Each structure stands twice: as structure tokens, then as C-alpha cells.
Structure 1
């Protein structure tokens, strides 16, 4: 079955539509082309095609073709009146491009459907006759469409003479009928504006999604009604806030990169807002870890609707090993740590503010040791934080928001505020989107583990050093390093360490990059603490004593007169 994006036109109705399409090429000064209305809402095709893409595609791109086409026809009309043949010739490429864009997109909106379904019996029979099966037709059209060089379209068309179905591709906005003589039945737009915001430059994933829609959830009560149904209330003492806007939850899931067939662990699902978005995105297995028993019935309701894809674990996320959960259930495709492509797995969470920092430290420790979910490869991690903490995690060098957690996060991952490329312009989630609304806004950070961490030293050594340096963030870095050593040798050892890594003693913590901290951790060798080493220090107490006759304690013991001071 083709869900959502379907061949909705039968062989007979397609001819009528293209007859109307040919009318677009009539140059008239009296009639203007207009942007056709979408027969559904912008978000009707989610999660396959996002509301943002649909709005830009229809309101911006298609509208531009219509505007340009009207302007060109005005120019053509004037050139005809003046019999300016050179002008007419010069306008033809632009006219072909914009008229083709208007024709192609007018067809596209009609062959996309929000409810899914099967093609008509007549069209199904023709597909089976000419391709053998629906699946073979999909494979051939997908391969041809993916292979389009640059921008263009993949089409399923019908020859008006032989009545046979054929697959064709057209470059740019060349219309199918004018280019090949085929009448279009179904088209796939592979201009990047049709998919880049959601699928980046991975065209095969987009084309695959057109045909193989992920399983959708059956109709469920609205999230707000869901909360009232189960009488759920956020507990202030647990820093709980429910994210109610499903558009935002879906946006978080898209930013996390969840795709059809992926495995996802969601920490702190609450009433299941983000959980719904994950299931809608087509995840084949979703494990949710929730400690609050009040949310379990609501999550069980979702689990029943998800037909076995949602698994509930009532547990403390700080004490739960996600990797064990996945391994026990047969995680399908762990990848090598150095593979460029991440494994088909994700950890996602809208966390209570009071556990966000301890949890990210736990996960960073597991990343450094390749433990927990990171036994499966470089699994990306997407978490919500107070906006101040989110910006701190991604803070650059010499920024006042830079802190211990900035260094630790950037030492082992590449943290990015999602929805935007830069920190200052980052899209935030307003506190008003939550119930109850917190007094702060929220940011979403996606962590991609580094293939090679910046630090080779044990995580505990790095964390200890960074913590001590940032404990005196307003002081010189020397001040924090001295606290790592006994007072008697602190000055010498701290200066020695800074000389080795070529860092000025008078710099401050926020002016150092992760490379400098990694180098300091590597040079901060543990002290060989022994009784002899302590006894050799100035003013050692007790003073060093030597046994007068032998260096080994005799089994029968010793007398005081045998010692020499």
C-alpha cells in the first residue's frame, strides 16, 4: 500500500487534468495565473514531509513560478504587439522554466494525499500489466528519480497512443507532456527545496519515504485531553513540565534524525508527547524509561496503539543501562565506532531540569568508555535543557557562559543547538509551550559522539581537572591547578604542568580550548605517594628514622636503642 503520497489519479481523470494543464501555456493579457490552494493542511503529510517544507514549497517556490509566469506573459504580449522577435526568443527559456514549474507543481499537489490508499482498479491493472507489480514499478521509478542529475522530476506517465505506462525523468522544470509526449500520472519532485530541510542531501531516503510510509498511530485523544483523561499533574518538586505542542515535539524528533526502522530510547517521556512523534516517525522499537508511576497507564495506552513497538521501563534513568536493554532485545546493527554513518539508534529526552546535568555527565562518561548505548556505536543523543544550560553546553572559547560542562561535552561530542546554525540565532522553545510554564525558556541540544575524543586520559582525571580549574573561573588557571596537589609541592607541580602544555599561568579557564584541557589532563601524572616520598618532604612529621643495623624489620621485633635519629 502507498500511504499518504499515492497515485490518486486514474487513467481517465489524468487526461482531463492535463488538458487543463495545457491551458497554462496560453499567453493572455486578460487572465492571470493564480496559486492553486492545497487540498489539505500544510502538516497533513507529516512525518514524511514536514509542515515547514510544505509551506515553503507551496507558498514560496510555487508562488514564485506563478508570479514570474504572469510577468513573462505580460512581456511576451508586449513583444508580440511590437513584433520584437529577438525579445520573444530571449524570453522562451524563462517562460519554459516558470510555466513548467507551475504545471508540475499544480499536478504534484493533486497526486499527494493525506489519508493514503490504493490506486484505482484501472490503474492497478495497468501497473501490473506493464511492470509486473506495484513494487517493481516503485523500484524502477525510484531508481530513475534518484539518478536525476542536479534538479528535476521522476514521472510515471501514460502514452496517449499505446496506452502503456512508462517511467521518465525531466530536468529542471521541463513539463513531462511537452518534453516526452507522456501524460503524467504521478511525479516525485527532486529539487532540493522539496526535501532538504528534512532529509538534507540524502535523496534516496526521501524517495524511499514517498513510497514506504512508516506505520502511523491510530486516532488518539489530543495530548491535552490525554492528560485530563489520566488526571496527570506535573510535580514542581520533580521539576516536571509537559510539552504540549505536537508541532514542536515532531520538530525535536526530526532534529534528532529519527528515521523509519530506527531504535529509540526516550528518557523521561512523561505523558508521551515526544513519544508520539517518535512513533509517527516510524521507529521500529521505542524504549521509554519513566520513574513516575502516574504516567505508566497513559504510556500503556500509547503502547497498545503502537502495536508492540513501544516498551515501557519503570526505572530511574540514572541507574538504567540503555545498552543492556538494547542488547537483551537483539539490537540489529551495531556499527564500528569509526564508521561515518551512525547506527540506526537514538537517545532522546525532555528532562526535568533537576537531573539534566547529572544525566549528561553520566552519558559523557559512558561515551568515553564506549559503554551503555554507545556499545552499539556513535549513537546520537538529543536532550532538552534550560536555555541557559543549552547555550553553556555549546559555548565557544572566551565566552562568559563557558563552564565545566562546556568542556566535558565538547571533549567527547560535537554538541549543537538544534533548529539553527548559530547560538545567538537559535530557535528556542518558549516556556509558554509547557504545562505548567516554567520561568525559563528551553533549548534542545543534539550531541554526536566524536570519532576520536579530544582527551585520551581517563574520564575521571579529565573531569577532576576541569572541575578544579572552573572552581576558580574568575582566577588565573594556575589557582585551580594548584588544588590538585599537596600544598608543599602545588606551586612547582602546577607551573611544571603549564610549561609542558605551553599554557600561560595568567590565562583564565574560559580562554582555553578542549585541546589545552586534554593536554593538561595527559600531563597531570598521579603522584607516587609513598611513606618515603612523604618523609623526604621538608618539615615532614614524623622526621625520618633509620634502623641502625638492617633495612628489614626482624621477626622478633626491635628495641628503641637500635634506632638512630
Structure 2
């Protein structure tokens, strides 16, 4: 493991500060600094950007983001044990790292960030999906972020990029692909982490679209998609009967057969159905 900066190797940092990963916090640390720098590069050119990082832990990805030229990094960390290690990184990169101790689900990062903004994080497993959904469903679109470069369990990553007809295809795929371009850019085996998780991981890169891919009211689309996939084994005419009393007519208007199931319908089809449901 070659050095990417003048700071000690991450194993030494963990030993010095006694930072054993805690399962209760969904922690699995990446200790290879070459790998964390590679993940940082997946976020694109960071030289003119502020970067939001959630769950930096001992700071492997943080150091990658800074060494790759991020203008500023805002790191939100729930584990107080990590603060001294992160403070050492802030000292090595003067004026470029701000660390906030707290829960990322409860902190509004916008007051600390200056556009353009990108998000990059090895997300804690226990809050990753919830944070992604929040980033994809702001009140106004386009969002404050240009892109999201996020580590997930591989199974979750596959759900984000899934296509119609696959078992992984569902609400998460539709939510992500309606408003962003999403692709898996890196796969990581369990042994890349300390401690090794029981599952493989993957990095997903999402780039925000200027406007949704197809027109639809966000609330109506979410209601239709939720109803369809909550009973995904049922035909749509049965799964969606609670959405509208004349749902078969509205399915026909959208060009969807009432006998189809949710996983057979494309994003464009769901958006057409949302428009049909919203119509008087």
C-alpha cells in the first residue's frame, strides 16, 4: 500500500485510536488507501467542488477525496471515537476538511456547503438506502448535488441499476433512474474491508438529470409504483385496484396490459400510468 499523503497508514491510525469497527453502526472500514483514492476518482473532477461524505470512519475515503483535489470535504460522522483521527486529517489539509459529529439523517448539510456539490461515501449499511431515497426525492429538482458516488451492498447496487424483467427491478430502480443516470462503477469483495462483511459491495455513480426522464407528478408516481410492487406477483389490475376504481381504463390509456405485472413495466410506462391516474 503506497502512501497518498504524509499521514500514517490506516491500520496504524486504527490501532493508535482503537477504532475497531462496530456492527451496531454498520461499520466496515476500507484500509487500502489506493482503493479509497480509486473510489474518489469515480466521483469525477473534484477540484472545483465541495464534497459531502457520510460516515468517514478513520478517514480512508476522506483522504482519497482530498488527495484527488476536492475543494472542500464536509464529513458527517456519528462515532465520536473517530474524531481525533479525522482531526489529524483536517490538520494535514488546512482549511479543506470540516468534520461534524452527528447523525446524517438529522443534519442539514446545505448550510455548510457551497455549490457545485458532489456526494461521495462508503455508506454505513444500516442507513444507506434511506439516505439515497432522501437524495433522490427532494422537494425541488434539480437537487443540490451534481452526482452521488456511493458504496452499497452489491445486492442494493443491483437494485438501483436494475432493468425491467429482472428480480432486482423495483421501486429503487425506478426512483433512481427517473431522475438520474445510474451505473455500477466498481465491485469490491468482502476481503477489501475490515472486518470483512458477509456480502460483496459495489460503488454506484449517479449523475443528476436536469429534469426527470419522463413527465410525471412525483407523488402520484410514487403511489402507483409503491402499490404495484407491494404486490408484485399480482397482475396490475388487481395490485392497483386501490389506486383508482377504473384502473383498467387508465392502464389502457397508458398502453399497459391489465394482466402485466409490475416488473414487466418500464419506467416510461409507469410515468405514463402516473399521468393517466392524475388525469381527471
Q: TM-score range by the shorter chain?
A: over 0.9
Residue 198 of structure 2: which of 435, 439, 445 is its match? 439
Using the alignment, how far apart are the partners of 1:358 and 1:224 within structure 2?
30
| Residue deviations 1:130-156 (CA, integer Å, cap 9, x gap) | xxxxxxxxxxxxxxxxxxxxxxxxxxx
- Asked which structure has the greater RCO (Cα within 8 Å, sep 6+), the reply is 2
Give how far 1:259 is off. 3.0
Query: Could you tell me which residue of structure 1 aligns to residue 86 of structure 2?
Result: 299
Give how far 1:319 is off. 2.3
Query: Could you tell me which residue of structure 1 aligns to residue 185 of structure 2?
Result: 418
Query: Could you tell me which residue of structure 2 aligns to residue 248 of structure 1?
Result: 35
Give how far 1:483 is off. 2.6
Whether the aligned pair in 1 keeps the contact of 2:225 and 2:270 (CA below 8 Å) is yes
Residue 388 of structure 1: which of 144, 155, 177 is its match? 155
Query: Could you tell me which residue of structure 2 aligns to residue 517 of structure 1?
Result: 270
| Aligned pairs for 1:441-520 within 5 A | 441-485=200-244, 490=245, 493-520=246-273
Give how far 1:352 is off. 1.3
More displaced stretch, 253-262 vs 467-476 = 253-262
User: 5+ residue gaps in structure 2?
Assistant: none
Using the alignment, how far apart are the partners of 2:16 and 2:95 within structure 1?
23
For the residue of structure 2 that corresponds to 1:417, the secondary structure is: strand
The structure whose residues are more often strand, as a share, is 2
Using the alignment, how far apart are the partners of 1:261 and 1:452 within structure 2?
23
Residue 121 of structure 2: which of 324, 349, 352 is its match? 349
Using the alignment, how far apart are the partners of 1:291 and 1:226 within structure 2?
18
> Looking at CA atoms only, which structure, 1 or 2, has the larger radius of gyration?
1
TM-score normalised to the size of structure 2? 0.93
**Residue correspondences, number:** 280
Query: Could you tell me which residue of structure 2 aligns to residue 364 of structure 1?
Result: 136
Whether the aligned pair in 2 keeps the contact of 1:469 and 1:479 (CA below 8 Å) is no
Using the alignment, how far apart are the partners of 2:176 and 2:86 within structure 1?
31
| Residue deviations 1:27-50 (CA, integer Å, cap 9, x gap) | xxxxxxxxxxxxxx9x78x7xxxx
Give how far 1:455 is off. 4.5
Give how far 1:363 is off. 0.4
For the residue of structure 1 that corresponds to 2:182, the secondary structure is: strand
Using the alignment, how far apart are the partners of 1:265 and 1:251 within structure 2?
17
Using the alignment, how far apart are the partners of 1:261 and 1:470 within structure 2?
41
Using the alignment, how far apart are the partners of 2:195 and 2:134 within structure 1?
28
| Residue deviations 1:282-338 (CA, integer Å, cap 9, x gap) | 112111111221211111111111112100112221222233321xxxx2xx5xxxx
The structure whose residues are more often helix, as a share, is 1
TM-score normalised to the size of structure 1? 0.47
| Aligned pairs for 1:44-443 within 5 A | 217=5, 219-326=6-113, 331=114, 334=115, 343=116, 345-366=117-138, 369-370=140-141, 374-375=143-144, 379-419=146-186, 428-443=187-202
